[in-house]
Amino acid sequence: MTSVSIDEAMRRAIALAARGLGTTSPNPVVGCVLLDPDGEVVGEGFHAYAGGPHAEIVALAQAGRRARGGTAVVTLEPCDHTGRTGPCSHALIQAGVARVVVAVGDPNPVASGGAATLRAAGIQVDLGVRAEEAEAGNVAWLTSMRRGWPYVIWKYAATLDGRSAAADGTSMWITSEAARIDVHALRGTVDAVIAGVGTVLADDPRLTARNLRDGTLAIRQPLRVVVDSAGRTPPAARVRDGAARTWIATAAEVGAGPDGRVDLPALLAEMHHRGVRAALLEGGPRLAGAFLAAGLVDKVVGYVAPKVLGAGPTALLDAGVGTIADAIELELTDVTQVGPDLRITALPRKREA
């Protein structure tokens, strides 16, 4: 077998980590590649699901005795605590590895400390290899753990002139089936889908992740969160159908902001407490505006249909912008055609604390 460089091994570890996206939460995605003393790959693994073996354990099981004296290349600092699984730092020590290369340190105070434990055992530890790339692949979990509330993605669908529905209120369908399939795939990568009670009353959405071809539900369903300050969600609403867990978040339960509505930072803090690390903000325009005005949106994913309506509801209402100088600036990171539509991905340049 041909030996590989540390950089190549980390690139492979990052690719392995991505395989766990959508199934590991509330744990992070992690990939690991084990090299023997000659630099040959003898084991690799990724964290596939919460409660399952960590990436290092999978890779060590593959490598067996060949890990001794070798190098473990890991996307995230090995954990140093016992939860549903044992500490990976101890497993690496027991396996006799000589070096551990880490892309990103663990910001979770409960699990961090693996690097120090490894060094105390005489193992060489190097941090920061391909850190930016590894951060990008684990951005939701890392962001959530560092600040205590989920990574929020605002998703919207609109015509080229920014309309989310026609003047008569009809909105099915603004975008193509290809775009809608893409949205359901996106839902499958997050822990929660957020919608306002206005959207629930107007559209009665399911807010589940489904196969649109045959209607079957995805195995893993995000938590459905309805922001409903006054508790107006009807008992027969489809979000209460049992297809997925649902939380009707009221001001009485979460707490009210200055406007008397659900306090959004408190909402996100409670979602984090419930294990939500990434959330998809889907409906509707007023709730999206409130999130943007409060600086609570981390990423925007817009599906723009090649249609114009000239009238009808817009995809976004009051976002706290009164003059052009206060416009919320976005950095485009991707523009992809999905069927006849465009999927535009962007990051807010500035966020309020």
Residue 307 and residue 290: Cα distance in Å, rounded?
A: 27
Residue 111 and residue 54: Cα distance in Å, rounded?
A: 13
Render pLDDT for 104-131 as a digit per residue (tens, 0 to 9).
999 988 888 999 999 999 999 999 999 9
Q: Which of 8, 40, 56, 177 is catalytic?
A: 56
Q: Are residues 152 and 133 in the same domain?
A: no
Residue 172 and residue 63: Cα distance in Å, rounded?
A: 53
Determine the pLDDT at residue 85: 77
Render pLDDT for 200-210 as a digit per residue (tens, 0 to 9).
998 899 999 88
Q: Are residues 210 and 247 in the same domain?
A: yes
Distant-in-sequence, close-in-space partners of 147: CB < 8 Å, separation ≥ 6:
none
Q: Are residues 185 and 322 in the same domain?
A: yes
CATH number at residue 23: 3.40.140.10
Is 180 assigned a ligand-binding role in the annotation? no
Q: Are residues 115 and 164 in the same domain?
A: no
The answer as to whether 353 is a domain residue is: no
Which phi and psi (to 5°) does residue 157 adopt? -130, 135
Q: Are residues 86 and 105 in the same domain?
A: yes
Determine the pLDDT at residue 210: 86
The answer as to whether 1 is a domain residue is: no
Is 260 assigned a ligand-binding role in the annotation? no
Is 247 assigned a ligand-binding role in the annotation? no
Residue 49 and residue 322: Cα distance in Å, rounded?
A: 45
Is 266 assigned a ligand-binding role in the annotation? no
Query: Can you give the pTM of this predicted structure?
Result: 0.90
Q: Confirm whether 270 is a catalytic residue.
A: no
Phi-psi region of 219 (alpha: psi -120 to 50; beta: other; left: phi over 0): alpha
Q: Are residues 156 and 295 in the same domain?
A: yes
The answer as to whether 72 is a domain residue is: yes
Which tokens in the block code for residue 40?
Answer: 């040959």
The answer as to whether 313 is a domain residue is: yes
Pick from 141, 156, 182: which residue ends a domain?
141
Q: Are residues 157 and 289 in the same domain?
A: yes
Is 55 assigned a ligand-binding role in the annotation? no
Pick from 96, 118, 141: which residue ends a domain?
141
Is 83 assigned a ligand-binding role in the annotation? no
Cα dist. 337→27, 91, 165, 213, 307 in Å? 32, 45, 21, 20, 15
Q: Which residues of the chain have pLDDT under 70?
A: 1, 350-353
Q: Are residues 243 and 311 in the same domain?
A: yes
Is 218 assigned a ligand-binding role in the annotation? no
CATH number at residue 267: 3.40.430.10
Residue 25 and residue 28: Cα distance in Å, rounded?
A: 6
Determine the pLDDT at residue 350: 66
The answer as to whether 197 is a domain residue is: yes
Residue 95 and residue 109: Cα distance in Å, rounded?
A: 25
Render pLDDT for 18-39 as a digit per residue (tens, 0 to 9).
999 888 989 999 999 999 999 9
The answer as to whether 314 is a domain residue is: yes
Q: Are residues 13 and 81 in the same domain?
A: yes
Is 77 assigned a ligand-binding role in the annotation? no
Residue that has been written with the tokens 């460089």 in this structure: 5
Q: Are residues 207 and 340 in the same domain?
A: yes
Q: Are residues 164 and 310 in the same domain?
A: yes
Sheet hosting strand 31-35, strand order edge to edge: 41-46, 31-35, 71-76, 99-104, 124-127
Is 195 assigned a ligand-binding role in the annotation? no
The answer as to whether 341 is a domain residue is: yes
Q: Are residues 179 and 135 in the same domain?
A: no
Determine the pLDDT at residue 351: 47
Determine the pLDDT at residue 333: 96
Pick from 141, 164, 180: which residue ends a domain?
141
Q: How many domains does the chain have?
A: 2
Is 173 assigned a ligand-binding role in the annotation? yes
Is 332 assigned a ligand-binding role in the annotation? no
Q: Which domain holds residue 165?
A: 148-348
The answer as to whether 266 is a domain residue is: yes
Residue 317 and residue 264: Cα distance in Å, rounded?
A: 16
Is 287 assigned a ligand-binding role in the annotation? yes
